[in-house]
Amino acid sequence: MTHVLVVGGTGAMGRHVVQRLLATTDATVTVPTRHPESAHAAALAATAPDRVRLVRSGPATLETLIGQADRVFANTDFFATGSAVGEYRQGLHLLSAAERAGVERFVWSSLDSPVSLTGRPVPHFDSKAAVAAHIGLMRSEEMLREETGGWYTDHVSVLTTAPYFENLRDRLTPRPDDRGGLTFKLPLGSARYPLVALDDIAWFTCHMFDNWQSWGARDLAVIGDSLTGNEIAAAFTEVTGTPSAYIPMPHDELRAAVPDFGHDYAAMFQFFADRDLYARDRDIGLLRRLHPGLMTFEDWLHHTGWTGQPPTTPSPNASTHDPARRFGTRADAGLRSGRPPSMNGHRDRADGRGSDRPRRLRRRVGRPVRTGNSGVGGGSPAQRRCPLGAEETHLTGVRVKWVKRVSDQVLSPHGRRFRGAAPPTPPACANPVVVVPPRVICAR
């Protein structure tokens, strides 16, 4: 029986991978988690109690778990360290442990590299991409040595993903307008938002694992759709019947709204404006040939039946520090309760392939007309601060603490200067916070 280790398996992406592995294979799955006793971890294990093993994560534990695994899927959490170098080290640590253990199939969940593609960094993308680049470098080294069966060449694949459609539901939830409709306020300007369904990321992951011989060390970059803000609103209106509109959020507002990482997120949306990933960096024809059920945004709306409600239960990983959970519109999403359900009687397909309806968006190949919106509008400030990197990460032992004090300036671990000279107020945060004057600590 195959044994799969899913790093990040309790998270949004990892959970979908675990569920698909359970549904389509007879593999047993091990999921490291800081909180095996948490409701979301327990719910995941309850899906298949005899096949899912939750293990409290820790540096030594992870080495052991890798040693027991035939296959590894690794989606590390950038926000666990809040450091590009920190996540890069995590990735290298996982890879070298897996190489030592002789793991048969290792899939690294990556993102595109803005700093390579455009010259402008997006730290939480570049860190994953740097690990992918390391994998490429190691393959190159193996080729130079004329190694046959090089581990990085034959046993590692890179799956480059994209933002999830689910972000629009769980993190960037639309707000009610005063006419019974909804407003998607997004930091897109006139750019396109490259998106993919979590179910489809899971599909491609399992496809890569199951077709290793034909894939070898070939990598895959996935996407499901790419929409402007106006197209998101139009598709939503068409599928749900609820009138909706797009309002651009200025990047400055995003920078100001998300402590520590607003500039990283703003850089990401600028990257989407600078680089059309869907048109330039994905082979949508190949992806659809491999996976005819690959969902567009419309398909995903049909598939999930989401009609604009904010999540009714907290995100399974609300305990983690991903600021993306806060830069959206959750604070006022509750205003939407009582809105009437979908009015056009759309239906879901049980087979997970999305809608039978004409696929307007799917037919759209090439570069659609841009909408020409300019960035205006307001936004909700972060409700509370929960500084990232305050906790030690247990993945690799990379230990990053949050604050350093240099003279009277307060810097984040990655050196960003907070505005103003005064240290930020200790946040209201569920997790313990370590504020460490007088110097930065970022040690292995």
Ligand X SMILES: NC(=O)c1ccc[n+]([C@@H]2O[C@H](COP(=O)([O-])OP(=O)(O)OC[C@H]3O[C@@H](n4cnc5c(N)ncnc54)[C@H](OP(=O)(O)O)[C@@H]3O)[C@@H](O)[C@H]2O)c1
- Using CB under 6 A as the criterion, which residues of the chain lie in contact with ligand X when the complex forms? 8-14, 33-35, 41, 57, 75, 77-78, 80, 111, 124, 161, 163-164, 167, 317, 319-320, 322, 324, 391, 393-395
- Shortest Å, Cβ 391 to ligand X: 5
What count of residues does the chain have?
A: 444
**Residue 193: CB minimum distance to ligand X, A:** 10
* 108 or 151: CB nearest ligand X: 108
In the bound complex, what is the minimum distance in angstroms from residue 333's beta carbon to ligand X? 17
Tokens coding 413: 């671990």
- Please identify, using beta-carbon distances, which residue of 133 and 405 lies nearer to ligand X: 133
CB of 318 to ligand X, least distance (A): 9
Output phi, psi for 29, to 5 deg: -130, 130
Q: Specify whether the CB–CB gap between 392 and 349 falls below 8 A.
A: no
Q: Comparing C-alpha atoms, which of 303, 305, 275, 309 is closest to residue 359?
A: 303
In the bound state with ligand X, the residue whose beta carbon lies nearer, of 103 and 131, is: 131
> Which conformational region is residue 307 in: left (phi greater than 0), alpha (psi within -120 to 50 degrees), or beta?
alpha
What's the rounded Cα separation, in Å, for the pair 300 and 354? 6
- Contacts of 194 by beta carbon, 8 Å cutoff, 6+ apart: 162, 163, 223, 225, 226, 272, 277, 278, 282
- Burial call 231-250: b when 16+ CB within 10 Å, e when fewer: bbbbbbbbbbbbebbbbbbb
Count each helix (H run) and each strand (E run) in the chain, helices first: 20, 16
What is the CB neighbour count within 10 angstroms for residue 283? 13
Residue 415: exposed, middle, or buried by beta-carbon count in 10 A (0-12, 13-18, 19+)?
A: exposed
User: Cα-atom radius of gyration of the chain, to the nearest Å?
Assistant: 21
Min dist CB 179 to ligand X, Å, is 30
Q: Strands (DSSP E) along 388-444, which ranges?
A: 399-400, 404-406, 409-411, 442-443
In the complex with ligand X, which residue's Cβ is closer, 8 or 413?
Answer: 8
Query: Nearest distance from residue 131's CB to ligand X, in Å?
Result: 11
- Smallest separation, CB 260 to ligand X (Å): 14
Closer of 200 and 299 to ligand X (Cβ): 200
Q: Which is nearer to ligand X, 41 or 232 (CB)?
A: 41
Our CB check for ligand X shows the closer of 9 and 229 to be 9
With CB atoms as reference, the residue minimizing the distance to ligand X is 11
